[in-house]
Amino acid sequence: MYQPQTQPGEGEPLIAPSTTDHPLYDGVVEACRSVYDPEIPVNIYDLGLIYTIAIDDTNAVRILMTLTAPGCPVAGEMPGWVADAVSAMPGVRQVDVDMVFQPPWGMEMMSDEARLELGFI
């Protein structure tokens, strides 16, 4: 999976780290994997569209995501799909999904499984 990069000379990652040690994290990832970009037959997590999954002590989830292209026809709908999928999980108190475009999505952000599915490897 894509690893956060830092700007040269800076210590802040371009993509904030996820709360991978939270007990709900793996379930949130699986919920994100249930959402597909309608133009690409791969789930949005493996496409690398989910940048950050932050879960606080009250089980509130904040997801930062992007699109393969800013002009994506479902740009207004996809955050809702993600929020619906994650909020259906037992134990999740609330879900906020924010769309970001920095850094821009690139094919290097896809998982190996997504690259294989799309014929890139």
What would the pLDDT profile of 35-80 be if each residue is shown by its tens digit?
A: 998 888 899 999 999 999 999 999 999 999 999 887 878 878 999 9
Dig out the tokens for 118 from the structure. 């799309």
**φ and ψ at residue 53, rounded to 5 degrees:** -120, 105
Indicate the average pLDDT of the chain: 88
Query: Residue 36's closest CA among 120, 117, 94?
Result: 117
Comparing 90 with 39, which gets the higher pLDDT? 90
pTM: 0.85
53 near 61, Cβ under 8 Å? yes
pLDDT band at 11 (very low <50, low <70, confident <90, very high): low
Region 93-113: mean pLDDT is 93
pLDDT at 6: 43
pLDDT at 121: 81
pLDDT at 92: 97
